């Protein structure tokens, strides 16, 4: 990178940072912020000029997201998450933690803004479902760029489970378990398959895990119990 390009990169970085850190400027529109980041500078976009500086700016924006999270400022938090992910799409933590903030924390913020008489479980459930859709859309963007990212797949599957979308969650964990031999993804897949009435698929996965576990592995007892439970459910379904 020559000196002129370095100067432009610094100017671009400072322009973005200044736009997002002004003490009285409120971050509220992700599309507007992406427009700022892609604004032309000397015939190229800021993002193109920034090059390796993008991850530095993304870290700065992520701190802004966390600060907004602490203040329970959903608009600024969402917009900062969106921009951090756009600036550094390879950083899985931005996608996964951002999605969890949106799906798990924000519903409670919205509930707290309602009159006390309306703060009930039904309202919270509605907020959870709405925010889950937003969080899943964010993760789908990340997975489009990083289709085999295990962290993102697990985060998506967990959010789907939290709003009882078990069929969709099963598909997500079916892919997740092909990316790693870890116990968690495979166990959750088997549990979801059983919940969705796919007892043979669940038993196949559980029995395979049991066969792979060492004789002294404490997980064998849990797997044996789960196999018995799924077999019982299968017999009940056949009556």
Q: What is the mean pLDDT of residues 34-46?
A: 49
Task: Tell me the pLDDT tens digit for each residue of 110-122.
Answer: 999 999 999 999 9
CA–CA separation, 95 and 215 (whole Å): 38
What's residue 140's pLDDT? 97
The alpha carbons of the chain give a radius of gyration, in whole angstroms, of 22
Q: pTM score, two decimals? A: 0.80
Please report which residue ranges of 88-120 form alpha helices under DSSP H.
Answer: 92-100, 106-112
From CA 187, how far away is CA 202, in angstroms rounded?
Answer: 9
| Contact call for residues 38 and 16 (beta carbons, < 8 A) | no
What value does the mean pLDDT take over residues 149-158?
97
pLDDT given for residue 48 in this prediction: 54
Give phi and psi for 43, each to the nearest 5. 90, -5
Residue 55 C-alpha from the chain's centroid: 19
Q: At 45, is the secondary structure helix, strand, or coil?
A: strand
Mean model confidence pLDDT for the chain: 85
Reply yes or no on whether the pLDDT at 11 is more than 80: no
78 — pLDDT class (breaks 50, 70, 90): very high
User: 45: which strand partners?
Assistant: 40
Which residues does 186 contact at the CB level (< 8 Å), separation at least 6?
177, 205, 209
Average pLDDT over residues 59-69: 92
CB 37 within 8 A of CB 82: no
Beta bridge partners, 44, equal 41
CA distances from 14 to 21, 65, 91, 96 (A): 10, 18, 21, 27
Higher pLDDT, 177 or 32: 177
For the stretch 169-227, pLDDT in tens is 999 999 999 998 889 999 999 999 999 999 999 999 999 999 999 989 999 999 999 99
For residue 144, the model assigns a pLDDT of 97
pLDDT at 31: 52
Q: Which of 51-55, 89-93, 145-149, 207-211 has the lowest mean pLDDT?
A: 51-55
Instruction: Measure the CA–CA gap between 165 and 173, rounded to whole angstroms.
Output: 12
């Amino acid at each position: 990178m020559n000196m002129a390009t370095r100067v432009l990169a610094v100017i671009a970085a400072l322009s973005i940072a200044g736009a997002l850190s002004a003490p009285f400027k409120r971050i509220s529109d992700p599309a507007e912020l992406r427009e700022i980041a892609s604004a032309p500078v000397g015939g190229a976009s800021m993002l193109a000029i920034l090059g390796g500086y993008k991850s530095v700016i993304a870290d700065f924006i992520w701190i802004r997201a966390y600060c907004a999270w602490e203040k329970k400022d959903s608009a600024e938090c969402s917009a900062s998450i969106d921009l951090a992910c756009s600036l550094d799409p390879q950083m899985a933590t931005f996608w996964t933690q951002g999605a969890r903030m949106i799906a798990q924390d924000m519903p409670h913020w919205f509930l707290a803004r309602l009159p006390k008489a309306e703060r009930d479980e039904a309202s919270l459930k509605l907020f959870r479902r709405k925010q889950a859709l937003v969080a899943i859309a964010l993760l789908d963007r990340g997975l489009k760029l990083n289709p085999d990212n295990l962290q993102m797949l697990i985060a998506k599957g967990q959010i789907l489970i939290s709003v009882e979308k078990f069929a969709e969650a099963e598909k997500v964990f079916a892919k997740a378990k092909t990316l790693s031999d870890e116990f968690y993804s495979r166990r959750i897949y088997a549990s979801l398959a059983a919940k969705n009435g796919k007892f043979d698929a669940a038993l196949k996965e559980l029995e395979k895990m049991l066969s792979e576990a060492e004789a002294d592995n404490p997980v064998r007892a849990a797997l044996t119990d789960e196999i018995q439970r799924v077999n019982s459910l299968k017999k009940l379904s056949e009556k």
